[in-house]
Amino acid sequence: MDLTKNKRGTASVWGGETNLFEHGATTPPVVNSVTFAYDDLDEWFDVAVGKRDGHIYSRNTNPTVQVLEEKIRVMEYAEAATSFATGMAAISNTLFTLLSPGDRVVSINDSYGGTSKIFLEHLPRFNVDVQLCETTNHEQIETEISKGCKVVYLETPTNPTLKILDLKRLIKAAKQAGAIVVVDNTFATPINQTPILLGADLVVHSATKFLSGHSDVMGGLICGKEELVKKVFHYREINGASLNPASAYMIIRGMKTLELRVLRQNDNALNIAKFLQDHKSVKEVFYPGLESHPGHAIAASQMSGFGGVLSFSLNGGFDEVKQFLTKLKFVHLAASLGSVSTLAGPPKTTSHVEMTEAQRKQLGIPEGLVRYSVGIENVEDLIEDLNEALFK
């Protein structure tokens, strides 16, 4: 069944699940088998060489995992998809597949912390030339792309200050330079943003965040052009960073409520951003849904909702943040984001802990910043909670 014409809420429920499973099961079975047996050696051989569909060994493919891969493929309007043990496995496998010694990659300073480490520490060891640009300086990014590169790696909105990149504009520049465009769509999810429809070649996800949505499973996904996905899959088969079937099932289950959760989180985050913006002890609010956000117009043109993550700084700096955060009731002070429950923390002690104050300043991350990943709670309770905890 082709689900490309359907809305994303329908696609998230039915993607990969339009046929019944064995015994007429209506939900995908968790197939824990490591290996798959054949009575007929010719059939086994045909499956092994890819002439016929089937499974051989679960490091390569697995029936439960395949349902999840089909679901994200459908959700992101992609030709093909594959999966990984974590989001970082998806990103590192993608970059190490696409880049070889002597190649050049162009990206931004604000990519996810782990991705940044690959750019700054690991790829240079293999003589890959990494050019990171000031995140919202589109002219600089275009100039660097036009000098020639193999891969353009983008992420929008960014962590933790929710900067926005103009995907159409940068994808156009990348196409002109003959580069492959990879977009990390973890923050937006396919409910709010579909980069492949804007011309991206590959989309990567940490399924640990919004896709699974309950902070109880880790996983990574990529989808996009079949030829590229096949190459990355070929590397992952041997590299071994495969997703296990139990985790795949948890992500499948989570994704069925993706639209319900994300629409609620979009609403909650926008309401909270507006509330905080008017509060006198709040210095600055970073949320692309606010008209005052410098990337608002671009975000409004390429996103259908602004996502469930926002950040804000307090006038009193880090000392005030410490007191404020511990007064909140409906929040886990923890890393990660995209869960049904609200998660918050200062980037200074979580995602950007390894940087110096000067480096954080360079990225525009105030010392008194709080990243707040809004859950699906009732927004009245969250606002009351924030109001009680903020300095009067």
Ligand X SMILES: *Cc1c(COP(=O)(O)O)cnc(C)c1O
Span near ligand X by CB under 6 A; candidates 15-23, 170-178, 179-187, 310-318: 179-187
**Interface with ligand X includes 87 (CB under 6 A)?**
yes
Q: What is the distance between the alpha carbons of residues 212 and 63, in angstroms, rounded to a whole number?
A: 19
Span near ligand X by CB under 6 A; candidates 102-110, 182-190, 295-303, 362-370: 182-190
**Interface with ligand X includes 153 (CB under 6 A)?**
no
Cβ distance to ligand X smaller for residue 203 or 390: 203
- 16 phi and psi angles, rounded to 5 deg: 75, -5
Span near ligand X by CB under 6 A; candidates 53-61, 85-93, 119-127, 277-285: 85-93
Count of other CB atoms within 10 angstroms of residue 182 = 26
**Interface with ligand X includes 209 (CB under 6 A)?**
yes
**Interface with ligand X includes 86 (CB under 6 A)?**
yes
**Catalytic residue positions, numbered:** 59, 112, 184, 209
User: Closest residue to ligand X, Cβ-based?
Assistant: 87
Q: What is the distance between the alpha carbons of residues 278 and 290, in angstroms, rounded to a whole number?
A: 12
Cβ distance to ligand X smaller for residue 31 or 154: 154
Q: What is the distance between the alpha carbons of residues 55 and 31, in angstroms, rounded to a whole number?
A: 11
Count of other CB atoms within 10 angstroms of residue 387 = 12
Q: What angle do CA 75, 79, 80 make, to 5 degrees?
A: 85
CB of 83 to ligand X, least distance (A): 12
Span near ligand X by CB under 6 A; candidates 21-29, 80-88, 322-330, 384-392: 80-88
Is 41 exposed, middle or buried (CB count within 10 Å of its CB: 0-12, 13-18, 19+)? Answer: exposed
Looking only at residues 258 through 297 of this chain, which bind ligand X when binding is defined by CB under 6 A?
Answer: none
**Interface with ligand X includes 218 (CB under 6 A)?**
yes
Question: Of 77, 187, 233, 249, which lies in the binding site for ligand X, with binding defined by CB under 6 A?
Answer: 187
CB of 235 to ligand X, least distance (A): 17
**Interface with ligand X includes 93 (CB under 6 A)?**
no
Closest CA to 133 of 161, 153, 113, 160: 153
Cβ distance to ligand X smaller for residue 107 or 159: 159
Sheet holding 343-345, edge to edge: 282-286, 309-314, 369-373, 343-345, 332-333
**Interface with ligand X includes 77 (CB under 6 A)?**
no
**Interface with ligand X includes 69 (CB under 6 A)?**
no
Query: Around 147, how many Cα atoms within 13 Å sit in the side-chain half-sphere?
Result: 12
**Interface with ligand X includes 157 (CB under 6 A)?**
no
Question: Of 63, 195, 220, 288, which lies in the binding site for ligand X, with binding defined by CB under 6 A?
Answer: 220
Bridge partners of 220, per DSSP, are 84, 206
Cβ distance to ligand X smaller for residue 97 or 206: 206
Span near ligand X by CB under 6 A; candidates 13-21, 201-209, 270-278, 372-380: 201-209
Q: What is the distance between the alpha carbons of residues 337 and 321, in angstroms, rounded to a whole number?
A: 19
State the virtual CA torsion across 57, 61, 63, 69 in degrees, nearest 10: 170
Span near ligand X by CB under 6 A; candidates 81-89, 134-142, 244-252, 316-324: 81-89
**What 3-state DSSP class applies to 112?**
coil
How many residues sit in the footprint of ligand X (CB under 6 A)?
16
Cβ distance to ligand X smaller for residue 188 or 282: 188
Q: What is the distance between the alpha carbons of residues 382 and 377, in angstroms, rounded to a whole number?
A: 7
| Residues 104-133: x where in contact with ligand X by CB under 6 A, - otherwise, as a string | --------x-x-------------------
**Interface with ligand X includes 206 (CB under 6 A)?**
yes
Cβ distance to ligand X smaller for residue 87 or 346: 87
CA 119 to chain centre: 17
**Interface with ligand X includes 88 (CB under 6 A)?**
yes
Query: 64 Cβ partners below 8 Å, 6+ apart?
Result: 28, 29, 30, 31, 245, 248, 249, 252
**Interface with ligand X includes 242 (CB under 6 A)?**
no
Q: Where are the beta strands (DSSP E) in the chain?
A: 80-84, 104-108, 129-133, 151-155, 180-184, 202-206, 220-224, 282-286, 309-314, 332-333, 343-345, 369-373
Strands 343-345 and 332-333 turn out to be parallel
Cβ distance to ligand X smaller for residue 144 or 184: 184
Sites of contact with ligand X (CB under 6 A)? 86-88, 91, 112, 114, 155, 159, 184, 186-187, 206, 208-209, 218, 220
